Amino acid sequence: MNDWGDVLVTGIIKSVIALALLMAGGGLLTLMERKILGRLQTRYGPIRVGPFGLLQPLADGLKMLLKEQPVPANAKIGVYLVAPAISLFVAFMAFAIVPVGPSFFLFGKMRTLSVTNVNIGMLYLLAILSLGVYGVVLGAWSSANRYSLLGGLRAGAQMISYEISLGLAILGVVVLAGTLSPIGIVEAQKAPGMTWFVFLQPVGFFLFMIGGVAETNRAPFDLVEAEQELIGGYFTEYGGMRWGLYMLAEYINMLTVSALVATLFLGGWIGIGTGILWTVTAAPWAQLLGVFWFFVKVAFFIFVYFWFRATLPRIRYDQLMGFGWKVLLPLSVLNMLVTALYVSLR
């Protein structure tokens, strides 16, 4: 098989595996959230469908598939039907550059544990993340519902407000690592004289984490779907599996943001104590251990998402916008200037 054929086959295999894992992961997160919120609020959560409620995501999926899916009389039909798919497609595309483990040799070639290794991966990421709002805005506009439209407008304003700070937080990491490649950023965190970027970029870590929660429209920044004000926000007129696609996209975006936090600030697949308690090797068990550490870090930040929802109240919309423009943006600019000064003097 020539090089192009090998790249094509490898890409298809990786894409199918990634899609399957993300779909399964999105369903599993719905169960995890209900279980964790139940424990934090002194209740059980799902316990009746399957042992310990483990089949609850399957039951939810079947229920959504079988539910009636009415279309509003004045809806823009084409856009209304396509909008949820746009959100899901963008969620899948954003995860494509995330490396879940170290590279390894297989069949005489170096393989990466990401769907694709892009040298300008961070630019690709920012471009894809900025497209996510289209599914929300188009779904809100096409529904012919004023409450939905308000939710869509909020989503657009929220994306603009927080994506600037998010991009500047990523830029600080890029300046330290000297590369736009996610794999290169992880490798830079184990270089001599370096450490996890969370210790060199604590402000950037804070900015990225808060911006990531706001970008995924999760509590306490879920103003685009505030039921007390907007009934259900942008997806008010959606039901059944169309509504389920929006929810699946939201959970996959949570996985992506958590994976990016682990990659950019916590060393990706680099385990705690690597280089101090033990050295990195090319043994197969070391590759599996790297994947294990990566998913441990991702799971921790998924838990933080649920913790925020169980603990923090939803803020007012003017507070949301004020926090983004008056607090996060100045902090992100200052962090970028300090990082550039540190790198130039070092």
Q: Tens digits of per-residue pLDDT, 183-199?
A: 999 989 888 777 899 99
Q: Can you say whether residue 260 is alpha, beta or left, with left for phi > 0 and alpha for psi between -120 and 50 degrees?
A: alpha
Mean pLDDT within 276-291: 60
pLDDT digits (tens, 9 = 90+) for 98-126: 998 887 777 667 777 888 888 888 999 88
Residue 336 has pLDDT above 50, yes or no: yes
Tokens representing 255? 């996985």
- 205 band by pLDDT with thresholds 50, 70 and 90: very high
Beta bridge partners of 111: 104
Residue 281 has pLDDT above 60, yes or no: no
Residues in the chain: 346
| CA pair distance 286, 166, nearest whole angstrom | 32
Query: Hunting for tokens 């169960």 — which residue is that?
Result: 31
| CA pair distance 266, 186, nearest whole angstrom | 8
The confidence score (pLDDT) of residue 271 equals 79
Residue 245 has pLDDT above 50, yes or no: yes
Q: How far is CA 309 from the centre of its chain?
A: 16
Tell me which residue of 95, 155, 100 sits closest to 125, measured CA to CA.
95
What mean pLDDT, rounded, does the chain reach?
Answer: 86
| CA pair distance 149, 136, nearest whole angstrom | 10
Residue 268 near residue 75, CB atoms below 8 Å: no
Residue 238 near residue 250, CB atoms below 8 Å: no
Segment holding 64, helix H or strand E: helix 56-66
Q: How far apart are the first and last CA of the chain?
A: 47
Whether pTM exceeds 0.85: yes
Percent pLDDT > 70 in the chain is: 93
- 273 band by pLDDT with thresholds 50, 70 and 90: low
